[in-house]
């Protein structure tokens, strides 16, 4: 199993550690040439979506990665990664991969609640200790997508076929079950 972890900006090392602990190989993607065939899945880490989006565009990665996701390449996006995957942002005119039929609000919890923890019920995983950092939430979950977890009535995790996205940071806790869920998705087990 080999995963490509986008390493342009943000919390990518933590994802590498989590997947390594689960026995998967990881390779960092920084340039167009790093995005090659032979990856079983890709990971879009948290960070700053506007910076990541700009770098993806400048590297010529936006279009080929979008096409690969649309062709079925498994992808796991966390926080800024969710923003990059969304078809629509409710408070930002940008669209990046536009692959997931959800409307996402950036920095949705405001400045006071910039960072917080919440114990969630994550569908298919169970209770999960989630860490949120200047997190978005999902305002609308469209046709093909399905909410997997909620906080205060808004979805904070969703799945659409080969696409998994969370508003929170599973890579910042020792609980590896959501990373394991993504590996099971790749194996076709969930
Ligand atoms: N607020 C960031 C953004 O809009 C996302 C925060 C994160 O990834 N921790 O891109």
Q: How does DSSP assign 9-58, residue by residue?
A: SSSHHHHHHHHHHTT-EEEEE-SGGG--TT-SEEEE-SS-HHHHHHHHHH
CB distance 54 to ligand 1 below 6 Å: no
Mean pLDDT of 156-169: 98
91-106 tens-digit pLDDT: 999 999 999 999 999 9
Q: Which of 79, 88, 127, 139 is catalytic?
A: 79
Ligand 1, residue 45: give the atom nearest the CA: 8
Ligand 1 center–CA 40 separation, angstroms: 26
Q: What pLDDT score was predicted for residue 111?
A: 73
Q: Which tokens belong to 13?
A: 């090392």
The percent of residues above 70 in pLDDT, for the chain, comes to 99
82 C-alpha vs ligand 1 centroid, how far in Å? 9
pLDDT at 20 over 80: yes
* Helix, strand, coil percentages in the chain from 3-state DSSP, rounded to 5: 25, 35, 40
């Amino acid at each position: 199993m080999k995963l490509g972890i986008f390493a342009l900006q943000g919390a990518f090392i933590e994802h590498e550690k989590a997947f390594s602990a689960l026995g998967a190989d990881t390779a960092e993607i920084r340039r167009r040439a790093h995005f090659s065939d032979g990856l079983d899945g890709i990971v879009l880490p948290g960070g700053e979506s506007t910076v990541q989006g700009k770098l993806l565009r400048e590297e010529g990665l936006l279009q080929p990665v979008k096409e690969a996701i649309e062709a079925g390449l498994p992808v796991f996006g966390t926080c800024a990664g969710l923003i990059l995957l969304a078809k629509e942002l409710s408070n930002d005119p940008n669209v990046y991969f536009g692959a997931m039929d959800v409307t996402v609000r950036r920095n949705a919890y405001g400045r006071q609640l910039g960072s917080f923890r919440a114990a969630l019920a994550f569908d298919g995983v169970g209770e999960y200790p989630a860490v949120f950092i200047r997190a978005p939430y999902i305002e609308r979950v469209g046709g093909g997508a399905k909410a997997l977890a909620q906080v205060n009535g808004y979805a904070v995790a969703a799945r659409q076929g080969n696409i998994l996205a969370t508003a929170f940071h599973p890579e910042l806790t020792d609980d590896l079950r959501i990373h394991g869920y993504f590996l099971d998705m790749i194996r076709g087990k969930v």
